[in-house]
Structure 1
Amino acid sequence: MGIQDIIEGKKQWRVHMARVKALPPDYQIVYKEMQRYFFKVGPVDLSDGTLLSGLVDFFEEGVAAGKGVLELIGIDVAAFSDDLIKDSRTYADIYQQSISGESGKC
Structure 2
Amino acid sequence: MGIQDIIEGKKQWRAHMARVKALPPDYQIVYKELQRYIFKVGPVDLLNGPLLSEIIDFFEEGVASNKGVLELIGNDVAAFCDDLIKDSRTYADLYQESLSAKPGTPEK
Q: Which runs of 5+ in 1 are unaligned?
A: none
What is the RMSD of the two structures over their aligned residues, measured on CA atoms? 1.1
Moved over 4 A (4+): none
Q: Percent identity?
A: 82
Aligned length: 103
Which residue does the alignment assign to 1:56? 56
Q: Amino acid of the residue matched to residue 66 of structure 1?
A: N
Q: Amino acid of the residue matched to residue 52 of structure 2?
A: L
Structure with more of its chain in helix, by fraction? 1
Q: Which runs of 5+ in 2 are unaligned?
A: 104-108
Superposed, which structure 2 residues align to 1:64-83 within 5 Å?
64-83=64-83
Task: Give the TM-score normalised by the residue count of structure 2.
Answer: 0.90
String of CA shifts for 1:48-100, please: whole Å, max 9, x gaps: 14000000000000000000000011111111100000000000111111122
Task: Give the TM-score normalised by the residue count of structure 1.
Answer: 0.92
